[in-house]
Amino acid sequence: MKMERPADDVAVAIETKITAPITWTLQSKFKIQDIRDNQHEEVLTLIKHHYFREEPMCKSIKLLKDSASVSGYLDLIRIWLKDTTSLIAISAKSGRIIGVAITRINSFLYKSNTYSRVQIFTGEALEAMMRLKGALVKQANIYESTGHDTYLCIYVICVHPSYKNKGIEKGLLDACSRAATNMKISLLAGIFTSNNDQSIARKMEYSILTQIPYKHWIIDNNVVFDDTEIENYSAAFMILLKT
């Protein structure tokens, strides 16, 4: 005799299926999926411990020594996470979050591009970084130069150092592309600040729209980012136009 499942169990099963994150990439060592609300703090911890320490601009300007900038940057990322488009890479072995792509939909109509708006950021280090990124975006004039009024912006790509060069960065960018297609968005863009990320983006057919060499970013006769290491030559605003 077939046993009927209790109505409450059926409801829970249906809700779980509806709210389950989409898995965009499934490989033997990791998977890439949407972020759930209860994973935000783990994502922020990963970014604080590794992106803030290792990303060329953060490292050069000693972001972690500026507590106001650290708090301000984390608060900004919390806002981006609310857009619900960001993706995470999860280790198949440990179940831990080992990578993240923080993304957000920007549109001309709602003027949602953080870098293009005039804002006052908390902390000197954060303000300095956002001034350079804002200049890149302003120079790009992306809406006019591409003819698109909406794009998916990649704000942060972060992978745990133990998992670098294992295909996770590429996997995250590829998943962002497929997520954009799913949302019927044909234009992706991001500011890539390391040579490694720029190389991966180029291999995935991103092109440079604007670029600022770090040694050319001078304020009050001082090079602001004077220790980004020789291989990290510039910050680049790169786009991928999907046909």
- CB count within 10 Å of CB 151 equals 25
**pLDDT number for residue 114:** 67
**pLDDT number for residue 153:** 96
Taking 60 as the threshold, does the pLDDT of residue 63 lie above it? yes
115 falls in which pLDDT band (50, 70, 90)? Answer: low
Residue in 147, 207, 209, 153 with CA at minimum distance from that of residue 180: 153
- CB count within 10 Å of CB 78 equals 13
The secondary structure element, H or E, covering residue 203 is helix 195-203
**pLDDT number for residue 4:** 46
8 falls in which pLDDT band (50, 70, 90)? Answer: low
* Model pLDDT for residues 168-219, shown as the tens digit of each residue: 999 999 999 999 999 999 999 999 999 999 999 999 999 999 999 999 999 8
Assign 28 to helix, strand or coil: coil
Strands in 29-120 per DSSP E = 30-34, 87-91, 97-107
Residue in 135, 206, 174 with CA at minimum distance from that of residue 31: 174
Residue 241 CA to residue 243 CA, distance in Å, equals 6
- Which residues 6+ apart lie within 8 Å of 60 measured at CB? 214, 225, 226, 227, 228
Mean pLDDT along residues 2-22: 52
Residue in 123, 101, 113 with CA at minimum distance from that of residue 150: 113
The CATH topology of domain 23-241 is Aminopeptidase (3.40.630)
229 falls in which pLDDT band (50, 70, 90)? Answer: confident
For the chain, the structural domain boundaries read: 23-241
**pLDDT number for residue 109:** 79
Mean pLDDT along residues 32-40: 95
> Which amino acid, one-letter code, is at 22?
I
